[in-house]
Amino acid sequence: MGQIVLAIGPSGTGKSASLRNLKKEECLVFNTANKLMPFKSYLSCVNLRDKNGTERYETIKSYIQSLSVNEDRCKLYIVDDAQFLMAFELMSRANEKGYDKFTEIARHWTDLMEYISGYTPRDVIVYFLMHNEYDNTNGTYKAKTVGKMVEQYMSPESLATIVLGTKCTEGKYTFTTHNSGSDTCKSPIGMFKDDEIDNDLKLVDSTIRDYYGFDKLDKKVSK
């Protein structure tokens, strides 16, 4: 059973920048919008922008499957701007009438989550970097989806054990690790001692692996 981690926050608060200390042989990035990274070092990336509909989800599954079973299996994956998996599918189906498309959009997302948690090795961690939005009903900031019609079938946070929030205060970029009462952040008891940590995804990954007793990132990505 693979692990799902969300990192959510507004644009420009350090989600993509948190990858800066990872090495290209340690991880694989699924780039939903084909954006350039906000740092100079190179990471192994798969462009999903030119895929259509469920092709994006199937591409992610196929890479995780192939790179998680070979000798140099990959243990760390990132889906950058993951909310676009839903948003691009919705836009491609804008002319469809009725509500069935919202049910299917929710199902495609949950199918990917269930695949990760049910059919990947235990020490594989997939990070979903997502924008957030304000929920007027609950008075909290949460992961951005494509509206209430999708949220009645699923919420991204409910399928993740760890939800981190991105924060920028006076030029300092951090991850928040515990629920403040106005967000959906969460982490296992004792995993993170501080409410805020450096927004360094490699540090986060090492902390998670130490906590659960997983092996470190010592294998190379074979794309």
Structure tokens at 46: 């798969």
C-alpha span between 28 and 200 (Å, rounded): 16
Residue 213, phi-psi category: left (phi > 0), alpha (psi -120 to 50), beta (remainder): left
Would the pLDDT of 147 be above 90? Answer: no
- Rounded to two decimals, the pTM is 0.93
Which top CATH class is 3-212? alpha beta
- What confidence category does residue 218 fall into, taking pLDDT thresholds of 50, 70 and 90? low
Write down the pLDDT at residue 179. Answer: 94
Tokens read off for 134: 């304000």
Domain boundaries, given as residue ranges, for the chain: 3-212
For 111-140, the pLDDT digits (tens) are 999 999 999 999 999 999 999 999 887 888
- The beta-strand segments (E) located in 106-152 are 125-130, 132-135, 140-143
Q: 26-35, 91-100, 207-216: lowest mean pLDDT where? A: 91-100
Write the burial class of residue 217 (CB in 10 Å: 0-12 exposed, 13-18 middle, 19+ buried).
buried
Average pLDDT value for residue range 166-187? 94
Residue 52 binned pLDDT confidence (cut-offs 50, 70, 90): confident
pLDDT over threshold 80, residue 222: no
Quick one: what percent of the chain has pLDDT higher than 70? 96
Region of poorest pLDDT, from 28-42, 148-162, 204-218: 148-162
Q: Is the pLDDT of residue 53 over 60?
A: yes
CA 12 to chain centre: 16
Higher pLDDT, 177 or 42: 177
| Residue given tokens 């006076």 in the structure block | 170
Residue 221 pLDDT > 60? no
